[in-house]
Amino acid sequence: FGMHALLVAITLSPVTAVAQSENYVTGEDIYPPVWDLAPENPLDFPVKDNKIVIDAWNYQDRLGAYKSLLNASAKYFGAFGAQNSGNILWGLPLQHEWQFHTGRLADPSGVTSCGYENGELLCQSVRSWWSCMNYYLSIIPFLGAVEAGLFGQLPYEIEILPPEEQKGDFCYSVKDCWSRMPKLMNDWKAFFEYLLSTEHKAVSSASLSSFNLDDALGLMWKAHTSSIAYALPKFRHSLKYLSDPEANFGEDWANAVDFIAATHFSTDLLNTKHFQAFLPQRMLVEGDVLPSISDFSPEQNKVLVSLRALHKANKLTG
């Protein structure tokens, strides 16, 4: 039941697809907030002491890591949609945008003003479970791409700034991340190396003929699920800052990604935008009872019930 409902939710309805395409042409609401202001490539970040410095606890900088990945990989996805819309890396920044605009990156303990409109809006809290989990789906892919050579030979090393607490839960440079989590780095590097290899095999730059979208999706989802599997036990302690319904949803969502990955769901711009309409548009609070959360659409309630059922079934069957 759970998987069926989830896949029904994922299936693109023609009406929405048309509306989304029209929206895409006019450019309304398609890109994440502050996308235009985010760095476009690694050399757009500040350089200090001969190092490119990225503040991973600032929403705009994380967006810049994503934007760099999308720009540098655009040429491989030209055949799959205009203006890079067919790039399967869109799933990452759009998921992060959803976390941002639903308040999931703000300090859930309420001790600081990090992530709040009346405080530091673009700040990402290290106490946010979502923000910590996302580190492994933003900074790690970015550093894997650097190592694979997606950005060519960079004149400087990359340095990631640490958070104020929990410094030991993260890594801060290509070398540091390789020494701490070689398998995870290797999975992301393999995905970007696959893209680069298709360019080398192509007879002319006009046709990247050896590119296979399903192979690319397989490698990307492998890296994606590796990131979640690595980060999940690391940040279990952060769930204590969340309400029980939100903590359950977070774990249900992390579990569901394995199933979505198995379908090789294409995380291009339109597919991801459509799918995210079914996710809760605010954080869950005590008193939110499934499947009758009154300010959620019937579809949003259904998806939450499906994710819960899927997680329970997965636990029961081991």
Give the mean pLDDT of 286-303.
94
Two tokens, residue 226:
């590796």
Higher pLDDT, 94 or 14: 94
- Residue 13 gets which letter from DSSP? P
Confidence at residue 113, expressed as pLDDT on a 0 to 100 scale = 95
Least trusted range by pLDDT, from 19-28, 57-66, 189-198, 210-219: 19-28
Peptide bond into 291 cis (omega under 30): yes
Return the SS3 of 297. coil
> 120-176 pLDDT, tens per residue?
999 999 999 999 999 999 999 999 999 999 999 999 999 999 999 999 999 999 999
β-pairing, 47-48 with 157-160?
unpaired
Return the CA Rg of the chain: 19
Contact 138, 65 (CB under 8 A): yes
C-alpha to C-alpha distance for 278 and 300, rounded to whole angstroms: 5
Confidence at residue 27, expressed as pLDDT on a 0 to 100 scale = 47
Give me the amino acid identity at 116. Y
Contact 299, 9 (CB under 8 A): yes
> 13-28 pLDDT, tens per residue?
333 433 343 344 334 5
pLDDT band at 210 (very low <50, low <70, confident <90, very high): low
Confidence at residue 198, expressed as pLDDT on a 0 to 100 scale = 86
DSSP state letters, 187-256 = HHHHHHHHHHHHHHH-SBTTB-TT--HHHHHHHHHHHHHHHHHHHHHHTGGGGGGS-HHHHHHHHHHHHH
Mean pLDDT of all residues belonging to the chain:
89
- Residue 147 gets which letter from DSSP? H
pLDDT band at 33 (very low <50, low <70, confident <90, very high): confident
Confidence at residue 202, expressed as pLDDT on a 0 to 100 scale = 55
> 254-281 pLDDT, tens per residue?
999 999 999 999 999 999 999 999 999 9
Confidence at residue 207, expressed as pLDDT on a 0 to 100 scale = 53
DSSP state letters, 114-126 = BT-TTSBTTB--T
